[in-house]
Amino acid sequence: MKQKYNILIIGGGTGGIMVAAQLKNFDRHLDIAILEPSETHWYQPAWTLVGAGTFDYKKTARPMKDLIPNGVDWIKDKVTLVAPDENLCFTEHSGQINYDYLVVAPGLVYNMDGIKGLKESLGKGVVCSNYTDPNHTWEVLQNFKGGNAVFTQPNTPIKCGGAPQKIAYLAADYFRKHPPLSKTNVIFATPGSVIFGVKDFAATLMKVIKNYGMDFLPFFSPVEIDAQNGHIYYQYLGPKLEEGPVFEKLGLKVMPDGRIQMPFDMLHLAPPQKAPDFIKESGLANETNWMQVDIHTLQHMKYPNVFGLGDVAALPTAKTGAAIRKQAPVVVKNLISIIKKNKTDFAQYEGYSSCPLVTGYGKMVLAEFKYDNVRDSDPLLSKFVDTAEETWSMWLLKKYGLPFLYWNQMMKGKM
């Protein structure tokens, strides 16, 4: 390991590996290092399917050493602080590393203190999450005996924003295929006001919810979990709370402090999420503590030799691997433009993201969109299939096509 690199990349996830691979494909002589402590790289998009018993968890992992591009140094360490005014990165064990250009792609971290009782309950009993242990989710699903199956998400940005509802649809389909569970209450409670931000896809998803007989509860923000007594508590964020038949059906109660108590017999949730602490401590964050970058060029707003992409970036679009697939080439082109030409004729990222919304076993909706929730479906794919409808072909894409493309194309900088 050297103490100075032309390009230092923080993070060996999707964004970091893609940027490194594409840079090396452009110019194999570039001096690049990746700073990443993990030994294993995970293909997390498949964890939804793992949690539903239809994908092998072991196949979502690859050794990090096999994915670091040839000619790129791997610094197996954790960043503790960046000093962007001095072009320095401080690490836990390897000292300080100097850089000319910095690419920040460390992903995000889970804030287990963001919901009271979460740390004590998650991963135990009937409280599960595909975000942390999809194998446990599958165990909970198989052992479920009926009652309230609650699926929820926090009032923070999260990676793969559709994941909490995907497993709800798969669970509803699983219960339907097992008649003793046919009277189960499947509940999707979300702080959001709608099921999905893009109207075409939202319309389809509301039909899916109706078809399964699910209960969709918008404006429900989880604030506490009492696993011992099987209750989750919500703060209602909507304009006016109206208690109707659904309250009696699901056993909901409005507490003296205004929170809503909901009983559960199974609880799946995404934990609250945030940027790593060093982003704020290094002066790279905006007012919401996510990394501050220009939403089109992905260049830091204050430090022109710093770029950010992926889940850590403060971008008004969904945090997905599909988004990173479009962000990485922009970062690479703009870095090359500065390094080789000393120009600022920047490539532009239009906010593309994609959410493969699995709606049951053998069914999927492919939601593609860009900034301002504008539908942005692939022009070639759209000639053959309406991606706003549930199709078997999109299920095949999710289960077989996307993992293949991820390992063999994206991770090698070929797309």
Instruction: Report the catalytic residues.
Output: 160, 355
Beta carbons within 8 Å of 281's beta carbon, 6+ residues apart: 81
Q: How many CB atoms lie within 10 A of CB 155?
A: 17
What's the start-to-end Cα distance of the chain, in Å?
A: 29
Q: How many CB atoms lie within 10 A of CB 180?
A: 9
Locus of tokens 């446990």: 136
Contact 156, 288 (CB under 8 A): no
Cα angle 167-168-171, degrees, rounded to a multiple of 5: 80
Contact 103, 10 (CB under 8 A): yes
Return the sign of the alpha-carbon dihedral for residues 67, 45, 233, 194: positive
Residue at 302: amino acid letter: K
Nearest Cα to 253, choosing from 231, 272, 284, 222? 231
Residue 379: phi and psi, rounded to 5, are -65, -35
Q: Dig out the tokens for 152 from the structure.
A: 């929820």
373 Rama sector, left if φ>0, alpha if ψ -120 to 50, beta otherwise: left
80 Rama sector, left if φ>0, alpha if ψ -120 to 50, beta otherwise: alpha
